[in-house]
Structure 1
């Protein structure tokens, strides 16, 4: 999945969707570190603030937890949002 700059969906939501899909697919497991802001900037060509917004969205949804001075990590599965 790549960023589509012609898609009306905000870029931070697209970045969050990419990470969310990696979690759902099992590529990122509970307690794994999610990509840092710097990695998102490099890998997706987005601004640091965009990366920060994507992580905040995932945190608000319950997909990740952020530990001060340590980074953001995939939340334990029982904390993931239920779909349906």
Structure 2
């Protein structure tokens, strides 16, 4: 999973650039449902950003329902295949 360069001069904030990169990985299937995302520490190293920037990127994905976080364990890709609105009846 090659990270794209973060452009600190771009109009889009770095955390949104990271989120866009992770969304692309999810959509390509590089990050499959149920699989863990890189940790905040790994994201800081991968993109050369502060931990709060990595945390904000993950928060954006969580707010959009693309990932869920388990305290002390990490963040995982949400399985959206069963979100057809029909429930488990």
Length-normalised TM-score, structure 2: 0.84
More helix by share: 1
Structure 1 distance, partners of 2:82, 2:12, is 26
> Match of 2:6?
3
Q: Residue by residue, what CA displacement relative to the aligned partner does 1:2-60 show, whole Å, maximum 9, x if unpaired?
A: 21222110111111111110000110100110010000100100000000000000000
| TM-score, with structure 1 as normaliser | 0.89
Task: Tell me which residue corresponds to 1:49.
Answer: 52
Aligned with 2:31 (options 28, 33, 56): 28
RMSD over aligned Cα atoms: 1.4
* 8 Å contact from structure 1 (residues 63, 79) kept in 2: no
Query: After TM superposition, what 4+ stretches of structure 1 lie above 3 angstroms from structure 2?
Result: none
Contact kept? 1:30, 1:75, Cα under 8 Å: yes
Alignment of 1:57-68 (within 5 A): 57-68=60-71
Q: Which runs of 5+ in 2 are unaligned?
A: 84-89
What is the aligned residue count? 80
- Give the CA deviation at 1:79: 7.2
